[in-house]
A and B are shown apart, each in its own frame.
Chain A
């Protein structure tokens, strides 16, 4: 249970889709002009991530990984189909999005009306494919954890778009330099928010867990030999931009 809680908070705050890995930036910037639409898209992202990440986990586990086909029989144990993962993942996502759209339209017209227009957009949202790819590269061990990871990342993305939409609604009344208005200031605000989110970095490990040092960290340490730089590199490691696991 504890690992679920840990992964949940980790995926919301520390590895936040938008602020730590910049996934789903396109729709994040395009649909964040009003809070109400941002909430709609955010909810749809949570929904789709919660479905596609576990589904792709099953696909990865029983079809794509090296040796995943061993359930078919001994002679299939050597097969490695992992080069197909991009195409399988994106096909799953595209079909699931379509399916979800049909099901939601049939059973809950009111939900469809609020999510409806955003669902097709989501098939090409990098946050969705990114969720599955990170699930694969971080080797999440069980189906339950994969679901937790999907929901957690979705909520993280939801919080991010909600926050920026609220700020953009307010900033309309501020005197921003003309050339920065709109896109420019949104970028800079997002950058500042990302710096803020970095402070969640030590939240779970509490600094007592000695994670293996990444090559990059070692390199910077060697080159600069300065405490400050080491600190910075450690931050970027906890930020998980360079996934080495």
Chain B
């Protein structure tokens, strides 16, 4: 990271692990759980959040001195809603099938707590460049968890990754299926997302004892 000073690169790297928005700050859980049955949907969702959070943080940061603090929530909501409408229209135009899978969850980026949380906690107090880095960092931290969950749910649930069968053909009994492996259809159900995230938290906190709650 020759481009960035040490402090700046910390803004990006911290949310990836030790200050992860989902597992540590507990922000933005709703969408993380609902759309992770397929890896592709998780990736698209991550990119949408990256876009909204990156740009939104800069916009709010530029306006931070002129927003009256009493109505700041409404101002923030309008900024996010505008960005989300852009994302929604782009998805509908170029990836219609996928936008149907994501259904209302694209709209729910507006109330995704990561976005409001970062606006409140960071963009209102920092300059545009640092806010941009913070937005990118947190969106990447969100993306990491989404992609891990999506990867395991799709691999174990339907034996595919991004729709491509990787474990062989379950009907012809090739690949892994020839030795009696079965897809675990349970992984496709929504409750399993919660349990997978629970396990990620477990692994992360066992590796870093400082994060353990009492």
Contact = CB atoms under 8 A, between A and B. Distances in A.
B194 A190 contact: yes
B95 interface: no
Given A191-B191, A224-B170, A29 B26 contact: yes
Given A179-B212, A194-B191, A241-B190, A91 B34 contact: no
A181 B214 contact: yes
Contacts of A198: 189, 191
A243 B202 CA distance: 32
Interface residues of B, number: 56
Interface in B174-192: 183, 185-186, 188-192
A132 B207 CA distance: 41
Given A25-B30, A180-B202, A244-B100, A91 B77 contact: yes
A24 B195 contact: no
Contacts of B31: 22, 126
B101 A235 contact: no
Given A129-B108, A232-B185, A187 B34 contact: no
Given A25-B30, A26-B28, A225-B171, A94 B73 contact: yes
Interface of B: 23, 26-31, 33-34, 37, 73-74, 77-78, 81-82, 84-85, 88-89, 100-101, 103-104, 107-108, 110-113, 116, 158, 170-171, 183, 185-186, 188-195, 197-199, 201-203, 205-206, 212-214
Given A90-B81, A236-B188, A239-B189, 8 more contacts: A20-B190, A29-B29, A126-B111, A137-B103, A179-B201, A179-B212, A183-B23, A228-B185
Closest 5 pairs (CB-CB, A-B) = A182-B213, A191-B194, A187-B198, A232-B185, A194-B191
Interface of A: 19-26, 29-30, 83-87, 89-91, 94-95, 98, 120, 123-126, 128-130, 133-134, 137, 177-188, 190-192, 194-195, 198, 220, 223-226, 228-229, 231-233, 235-236, 239, 241-244
